[in-house]
Amino acid sequence: MPIREATEADTDDIVRLIRALADFEDMADEVSLDPASVARHLFGPKPAAQVLIATEDDATVAGFALWYPTYSTFLGRPGIWLEDLFVDPEHRGRGHGSHLLQWLRDATDGRVEWSVLDWNEAAVDFYESLGARPVPGWTRYRWLPGTG
């Protein structure tokens, strides 16, 4: 399963996959990204995140993982926050998601963490089949611009 680091030439595919993910999560009305801004933030002089691309036959973009480094003060080592993982429905069941996650697991000896929507039972089952477990006792907060 070919996994590669994204380049600026992948911006249109990344935007397409983000929109497909938002549609899948019934959150398309929250997407307000601009492809030029995405390219600047991912491939400019100070990238905010990194992207992995899963391909079929080294050409067809099947999915992506958008992630950024974190640091655990308790472990005293870096880790990874997986912001988004998405594989196009027509490419699912072929190992793309597993390969993207394994690439991230191999990239750090620290934690790999992410959030999953509680209604997404297929994703929960998939993550648990890999040995991942939910973190009990934590509630996720979000502070949006202009709200305080």
Question: What are the residue numbers of the active site?
Answer: 127
Question: CA–CA separation, 26 vs 107, rounded Å?
Answer: 31
Question: CA–CA separation, 64 vs 4, rounded Å?
Answer: 10
Q: Parallel, antiparallel, or unpaired: how do β-strands 77-87 and 60-72 relate?
A: antiparallel
Query: How many CB atoms are closer than 10 A to CB 130?
Result: 12
Query: How many CB atoms are closer than 10 A to CB 5?
Result: 10
Residue among 66, 111, 59, 56 nearest 86 (CA)? 66
